[in-house]
Amino acid sequence: MIDLNAAHYEKRKLISLVENRTIHSLNNAELNIFETHQQASQVLLKFSEPVLASMIKGKKVMHLENTHSFGFLPGESVILPSNELMCIDFPEATEQNPTQCLALAFSETKLKEAVEILNNRGTKQNGKEWSMTDYNYHFTNDIAINQILQRLIFIFTEKHPSKDIFADLLIQELIIRILQTESKSIYLKKALTDSNNDRISFVIKYIQDNITEDLSIEFLSEKAYMSESNFYRTFKHELGSSPNDFIIEERLKVAESLLRNPKISVKEAYMASGFNSFSYFCRIFKKKKNLSPTEFKEKSRFLNVEKRGIK
């Protein structure tokens, strides 16, 4: 999760209990930290440039134009076009538990530069160029995006003569990762509904249906009717992760789902998720989830007990 540093609090002045705004500005971007200390509803907010909003603490309910309303929780982000009107509710904010959210506004030029970098490396497999196809894209941050946002908070609040350069590079990386995250989510949806429509969706569906099998690059590239090098390059370019990393992600999803079931043991979850080494499974699970499989299972059991109201 993202944390606000001491440098932010040194500059911040608490003037309003609802969406108190602290602005950290650079040449090509502006980092806004919003804090709300009491319940509120229908608070309006708009930026003149594209913006990435990311929750730090608490809960919001976002009402956006041309999309459904959704709960906005820590570890989640949404990217919005310029002049998009946000209507926001704060159902749980209190003085003791304020809602905190960052909004990173950046220039259209920076967005175009990042898209151009991807297109210079190659268009998508269907021949279409990269673009921000869904501006109201709501997603869960992965580890890399969380790290970039944490680093940006540090850069915006430090006193370094080159911080504009540092921020420009990180924002470029952030936009590219968001575009690839969105592309991955599109492929995952297509794998569920129309996996025969393109080669990558077909391979994703095959991986999901055969998660315990030996899924080598050579074998998967044959399934996609592509050379190994072209398959690997296309997969990584469009999803932002290698085929092997994607397989690990899918196996972890299976393991996580099974570990939530009180009737399934850690060993059974490991065997059903396709990992070929129990020690590696435990190590990679803890690295990705910050909990060992056993700790995750115990936490899930405790949460299930709480939901049922059992003391």
Percent of the chain with pLDDT over 70: 96
Residue 267 lies in a domain: yes
Report the pLDDT averaged over residues 106-134: 83
The reported pLDDT for the residue numbered 125 is 74
Lowest mean pLDDT among 3-17, 159-173, 208-222: 3-17
Domain end point (choices 120, 151, 183): 183
Q: Are residues 217 and 84 in the same domain?
A: no
Q: Is residue 1 part of a domain?
A: no
3-class DSSP state of 167: helix
- Verify that 178 and 213 share a domain, yes or no: no
Grade residue 311 by pLDDT with cuts at 50, 70 and 90. Answer: very low
Question: pLDDT at position 310, please?
Answer: 47
Q: Is 300 inside any structural domain?
A: yes
The pLDDT score that the predictor gives to residue 304 is 66
* Range scoring the smallest mean pLDDT among 120-129, 154-163, 191-200, 267-276: 120-129
84 and 211 fall within a common domain: no
pLDDT per residue as tens digits for the range 132-148: 655 788 999 999 999 99
Res 306: pLDDT: 54
CATH for 308: 1.10.10.60
Contact of 217 with 231, CB cutoff 8 Å: yes
Q: Is 15 exposed, middle or buried (0-12, 13-18, 19+ CB in 10 A)?
A: exposed
For 165, the token pair is 């350069």
Residue 256 sits in the same domain as residue 170? no
Cβ neighbours of 84 (radius 10 Å) = 19
Looking at the structure, tell me whether residues 14 and 65 fall in a common domain: yes
Residue 108 sits in the same domain as residue 143 = yes
Which residues have C-beta within 8 Å of that of residue 130, sequence separation ≥ 6?
Answer: 115, 118, 119, 123, 124, 179
If asked whether residues 86 and 29 sit together in one domain, one would say: yes
Cα–Cα nearest to 195, from 207, 186, 203: 203
Number of domains in the chain: 2
Specify the pLDDT at position 309. Answer: 55
Q: Do 21 and 101 fall into the same domain?
A: yes
pTM of the predicted model as reported, rounded to 2 decimal places: 0.86
- Assess whether 155 and 284 both reside in one domain: no
Do 213 and 166 share a structural domain?
Answer: no
Which H or E run contains 213? none
Report the 10 Å Cβ neighbour count for 243: 24
| Structural domain boundaries enclosing 105 | 6-183
Pairing relation of β-strands 137-140 and 76-80? Answer: antiparallel
Contact 71, 61 (CB under 8 A): yes
Query: Does residue 188 form part of some domain?
Result: no
CATH number of domain containing 80? 2.60.120.280
- For the cut 80, the answer to whether the pLDDT of residue 303 exceeds it is no
Between the CA of residue 16 and those of 6, 35, 49, 135, 166, what are the distances in Å? 20, 9, 24, 30, 31
Average confidence (pLDDT) over 277-283: 95
Does 129 fall in a domain?
Answer: yes
Domain boundary among 151, 183, 215: 183
Q: Is 189 part of a structural domain of the chain?
A: no
pLDDT in tens, 45-101: 999 999 999 999 999 999 998 778 999 999 999 999 999 999 999 999 999 999 999
In a domain, 295, yes or no: yes
CA 220 to chain centre: 26
Domain boundary at 136, 152, 183, which?
183
Residue 269 has pLDDT above 90, yes or no: yes
